[in-house]
């Protein structure tokens, strides 16, 4: 299966400033590129590519004083197996003492995932008797999927996992944050993923296409994909970046005032 991915994003800015964008496909999917990425910056501005502490490819763009708008465009094609997310019900849960040291950070509290909150006791009271491993993570997903109502109009950059739990609504990042937090409370390493997820193999969503957020957990010596919003294996995920939560992987970060003028995302399965 071939999938065309891309975006057209335009931001109003107040120069001089700098912009960091996490909009390049994650390096672990580079072998799947059929048509290469071609990030275009308008107007042509100095850009620096670097890899952050989580292994994500980032772009720093320097914006001079005489520029008030920056447009970022990219379009490319990736190959996908056409199969839905793998389900591994026998993936075991590791004791914390047996986890690799580079995984431990995904057990700790972070900006949007307050493990050190009332959610800690709630997690053990609610899921403490469920089977360890895959079944326990799935129980968390089932709960979050049923507890939160998806609502684009309720999107808030300030809402944390505890806020989503209390409000009972949110967008895909809120589903991911609450599920990540509950997993960490249960000593299951969990990390946040942002990327592309189109309507492949499912009825089309009438809302405008957007980037998506899901999460991964460390079980059986490997990272596995879970999605509390959709709560079913999906086809066509293409990760852009991974981190502790959304604070680590902003699509764009402008170091000064900014206004979003254009935001179009493409995730189309190609015929044949």
Q: Say if residues 228 and 141 touch (Cβ distance below 8 Å).
A: yes
Q: Kindly report the average pLDDT of the chain as a whole number.
A: 96
Percent of the chain with pLDDT over 70: 100
Tell me how far apart the alpha carbons of residues 163 and 167 are, in angstroms, rounded to a whole number: 6
What's the pLDDT at 271? 85
| CATH code linked to domain 2-82+251-269 | 2.60.40.2250
* Average pLDDT of the residues in 155-174: 96
Local confidence band at 194 (pLDDT 50, 70, 90 cut-offs): very high
What does the H/E/C string look like for the chain? CEEEEEEEEEEEECCCEEEEECCCCCHHHHHHEEECCCCEEECCCCEEEEECCCCCEEEEEEECCCCCEEEEEEEEEEECCCCCCCCCCCCCCCCHHHCCHHHHHHHCCECCECCCCHHHHHHHHHHCCCCCCHHHHHHHHHHHHHHCEECHHHCCCCCCHHHHHHHCEECHHHHHHHHHHHHHHCCCCEEEEEEECCCCCCCCCCCCCCCEEEEEEEECCEEEEECCCCCCCCCCCEEEEEECCHHHCCCEEECCCEEEEEEEEEEEECCC
What is the Cα 122 distance to its own chain's centre? 25
Write the CA distances from 182 to 33, 41, 84, 92, 231, integer angstroms.
Answer: 35, 39, 25, 17, 16
> In this structure, which topology does domain 96-248 adopt according to CATH?
C8orf32 fold (3.10.620)
Per-residue pLDDT of 117-157, as tens digits, reads: 999 999 999 999 999 999 999 999 999 999 999 998 888 99
Q: Is the pLDDT of residue 54 over 90?
A: yes
Tell me how far apart the alpha carbons of residues 178 and 141 are, in angstroms, rounded to a whole number: 9
This prediction has a pTM of 0.96
* Average pLDDT of the residues in 187-213: 95
Instruction: Give span(s): CATH 2.60.40.2250, the chain.
Output: 2-82+251-269
Instruction: Give span(s): CATH 3.10.620.30, the chain.
Output: 96-248
Tell me how far apart the alpha carbons of residues 203 and 211 are, in angstroms, rounded to a whole number: 17
């Amino acid at each position: 299966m071939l999938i065309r991915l891309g975006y057209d994003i335009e931001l109003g800015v107040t120069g001089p400033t700098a912009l960091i964008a996490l909009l390049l496909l994650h390096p672990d999917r580079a072998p799947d590129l059929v048509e290469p990425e071609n990030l275009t910056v308008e107007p042509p501005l100095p850009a620096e590519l670097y890899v952050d502490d989580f292994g994500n490819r980032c772009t720093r763009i320097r914006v001079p004083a005489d520029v008030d708008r920056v447009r970022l465009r990219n379009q490319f094609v990736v190959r996908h197996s056409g199969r839905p997310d793998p389900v591994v019900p026998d993936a075991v849960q590791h004791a914390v003492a047996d986890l690799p040291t580079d995984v431990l950070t995904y057990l700790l509290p972070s900006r949007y995932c307050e493990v050190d909150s009332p959610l800690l006791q709630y997690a053990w009271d609610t899921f403490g008797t469920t089977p360890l491993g895959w079944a326990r993570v799935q129980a968390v997903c089932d709960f979050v999927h049923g507890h939160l109502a998806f609502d684009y109009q309720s999107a808030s950059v300030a809402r944390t996992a505890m806020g989503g739990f209390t409000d009972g609504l949110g967008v895909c990042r809120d589903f991911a944050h609450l599920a990540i937090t509950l997993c960490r409370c249960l000593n299951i390493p969990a990390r946040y993923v942002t990327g592309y997820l189109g309507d492949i193999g499912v009825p089309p969503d009438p809302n405008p296409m957007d980037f998506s957020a899901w999460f991964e957990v460390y079980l059986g010596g490997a990272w596995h994909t879970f999605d509390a919003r959709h709560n079913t294996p999906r086809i066509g995920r293409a990760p852009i970046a991974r981190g502790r939560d959304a604070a680590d992987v902003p699509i764009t970060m402008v170091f000064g005032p900014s206004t979003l003028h254009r935001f179009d995302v493409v995730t189309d399965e190609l015929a044949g």
